A and B are shown apart, each in its own frame.
Chain A
Amino acid sequence: MTEIVLPILLPFALIILLVFIRKVNYAKWIGIIGSALIAIVAIYIFINTLNNGVLVLYVGGWKAPYGITLVVDMLSGIMLVVTSFLVLSISIYAYHFIKNNKQFSRFFLFFFALIMGVNGTFVTGDIFNFYVWLEVIMLSSFVLITMGSEKKQLEGGIKYMALNLIASLFFLAGIGLLYGKTGTLNMAHLAKILTNDQQSLFMNTSAMLFFIALGIKAAIFPLFFWLPASYHTANITVTSLFAGILTKVGVYAFIRLFTLFFVQDAYFWHNLLLISAGFTMVIGGMAASIQYDVRRILSYHIISQIGYMIMGLGIYTPLAIAGAIFFTVHNMIAKTNTFLVSGIMNKLKGTFDLKSMGSLLKEQPLLAVLFIIPAFALAGIPPLSGFFAKFILIKSGIEDGHYVIIAIAVLTSLLTLYSMIKIWSEAFLKKQPDDITIPNSKPIRFTVFIPSIMLALGSVLLGVFAASFFDLTMEAARQLMEPSEYINAVLGADVK
Chain B
Amino acid sequence: MNSVILQIASKYLRILFLMFAIIALLRGHNQPGGGFIGGLLAALYIVFNTLAFTSKQIKDRLKVSPEAYMGVGLLCVLLSFLPSVLSGAPLMQGVWVSYSISDFEVIKLGTPLLFDLGVFIAVMGVTLMFLFTLSTHK
Contact = CB atoms under 8 A, between A and B. Distances in A.
Interface of A: 2, 5, 9, 12-13, 15-16, 19-20, 57-61, 106, 109, 139, 142-143, 146, 149-151, 154
A150 B137 contact: yes
30 contacts: A5-B91, A12-B78, A15-B71, A15-B74, A16-B71, A16-B74, A19-B68, A19-B70, A19-B71, A57-B90, A58-B90, A60-B90, A60-B94, A61-B90, A61-B92, A61-B93, A106-B67, A139-B126, A142-B130, A143-B129, A143-B133, A146-B133, A146-B134, A149-B136, A149-B137, A150-B137, A150-B138, A151-B137, A154-B134, A154-B137
Contacts of A13: 78
Nearest to A132: B36
B90 A59 contact: yes
B78 A57 contact: no
Interface in B30-84: 67-68, 70-71, 74-75, 77-78, 81, 84
Interface string B106-136: 0000000000000000000010011001101
Given A60-B92, A61-B89, A61-B92, 20 more contacts: A2-B91, A12-B77, A13-B78, A15-B70, A16-B75, A16-B78, A19-B67, A57-B90, A58-B90, A60-B84, A60-B91, A60-B93, A60-B94, A139-B130, A143-B130, A143-B133, A149-B133, A149-B138, A150-B138, A154-B134
A354 to B, nearest CB: 28
A417 to B, nearest CB: 40
Contacts of B133: 143, 146, 149
A57 B91 contact: yes
Contacts of A59: 90-92
A146 B84 CA distance: 38
Contacts of B78: 12-13, 16
A426 B13 CA distance: 61
A154 B92 CA distance: 38
A142 B70 CA distance: 17
A244 B75 CA distance: 30
A142 B78 CA distance: 24
Contacts of A61: 89-90, 92-93
Interface of B: 67-68, 70-71, 74-75, 77-78, 81, 84, 89-94, 126, 129-130, 133-134, 136-138
Contacts of B71: 15-16, 19-20
Interface centre among A9, A16, A58, A142 (most CB of B within 10 A): A16
A12 B74 contact: yes
A146 B134 CA distance: 9
Contacts of A20: 71
- Listed from nearest, the 10 A-B pairs whose CB atoms lie closest are A19-B71, A61-B90, A61-B93, A60-B92, A149-B137, A16-B74, A60-B93, A59-B92, A16-B75, A19-B67
Contact of A109 (B67, B89, B91, B92): B67
Contacts of B91: 2, 5, 57, 59-60
A154 B71 CA distance: 25
Nearest to A19: B71
Contacts of B93: 60-61
A142 B53 CA distance: 26
Contacts of A19: 67-68, 70-71, 74
Contacts of A60: 84, 90-94
Interface centre among A106, A149, A151 (most CB of B within 10 A): A149
Nearest to B138: A149
A59 B94 CA distance: 11
Contacts of A106: 67
B121 to A, nearest CB: 12
A13 B82 CA distance: 13
Nearest to B89: A61
A181 to B, nearest CB: 22
A146 B126 CA distance: 14
A19 B136 CA distance: 21
A136 B102 CA distance: 43
Contacts of B94: 60
A31 to B, nearest CB: 16
A142 B126 CA distance: 12
Contacts of A142: 130
A109 B125 CA distance: 13
Contacts of B90: 57-61
A139 B67 CA distance: 15
Interface centre among A59, A61, A106 (most CB of B within 10 A): A61
A224 to B, nearest CB: 25
A408 B91 CA distance: 49
A357 to B, nearest CB: 27
B35 to A, nearest CB: 13
A61 B91 CA distance: 7
A151 B136 CA distance: 10
A59 B91 CA distance: 6
A322 to B, nearest CB: 33
A60 B92 CA distance: 4
A57 B90 CA distance: 9
Nearest to A15: B74
A258 B67 CA distance: 39
Contacts of B74: 12, 15-16, 19
Nearest to A158: B134
A154 B132 CA distance: 12
A13 B134 CA distance: 27
Contacts of B77: 12
A57 B68 CA distance: 32
B112 to A, nearest CB: 9
Contacts of A150: 137-138
A9 B68 CA distance: 19
A150 B89 CA distance: 48
Nearest to B36: A132
